[in-house]
Structure 1
Amino acid sequence: MAEEIATLGGGCFWCTEAVFDQLEGVLDVVSGYAGGRTANPSYDDICTGTTGHAEVVRVTFDPERLSYRDVLSVFFATHDPTTPNRQGADVGTQYRSTIMTHSEEQARVAREVIADLTKEGVFDAPIVTEVVPAPTFYPAEDYHQEYFARNPRAGYCQVVISPKVAKFRRAYADRLKVGV
């Protein structure tokens, strides 16, 4: 089976991971850090906003069941790509909207999707999502992995992640993994 990787930053990685974990065709989602200057950063390092890293997810998917364009469609439907360095109350460069591409083809598709969304007027403000070559990816600490699945009753999960996941489930009901 062929596999492909998408590296995406759409604010808090807990939110992004929770969405992609439920999408049919996704094989694995790992929360982590990428795009900065600090080698092997910790969450505490990231929170300073001085490392240059973004909170991202590395999504491994089966391109025979889920296209890269479809991955990006879900990405843009589940975060605000018009707010520089911010998603809701999460503010800082670590929360920027970013697509970190693993090939020229991914970069081309990402630019096309952004152009299409812009032409269609999907958002009320310009899309600020950066499209950059995928740098080194550093997995986040274990307690960040599958955070929403393990902590669904935590305050942040109830207030921020649950509504985002519910919106995703309504919009992509036909694309959910079996049993979700």
Structure 2
Amino acid sequence: MEISHADIIFEVEGQEISAHRLVLAFRSPVFEFDLLGAKVNRDCHRIKIYGTHPLILKGILHYVYTDCLPKMEDILSTRGSNTIMSLEKFYHLLMVSAEKYELIGLCNLCKDRLSGLVSIENAIEFLTLAEDGKYAQLKEICVEFITEGINYEKIVRTKEYAILYQTHPDLYFELGAMRKV
């Protein structure tokens, strides 16, 4: 997504990503405070961002400007992107960032996408993500998937399930009690 007349440049892991301060501030109360707050130097046109990936920031900006999730092929094919990221990881990190910037619509879109990606391999990870983030809809989908007869038999043999007992004992026992035979 090409942005013309941008008035701010984010630097993320060596990549420069342009945006419009007012658009971001209008869409997110967190951006509003960070970019237009009383203590902000409005002459600063370059901001370094730490703790995120350029693909995630691009995903956030795509949503802010279009109200849609980006197509993964568009995000992954952007110049300077040499990182391979799974869909699960992308939507997980994007959802966490959406929550941080109070972009509720983006958070809901990510939850919907994640729910469609639940598998034997990632069901426990998604379940703990849902529990920790208080995502009731995603948790319900994960519990439903995990407690299905054949799925349950496969999942209980994974190391993630064994770790669940240590990290989230309540979830561990909840799954056992809800198992469908």
TM-score by length of 1: 0.26
* Structure label with greater radius of gyration: 2
TM-score by length of 2: 0.25
More strand by share: 1
More helix by share: 2
The one of the two structures with greater contact order (alpha-carbon pairs below 8 A, sep at least 6) is: 1
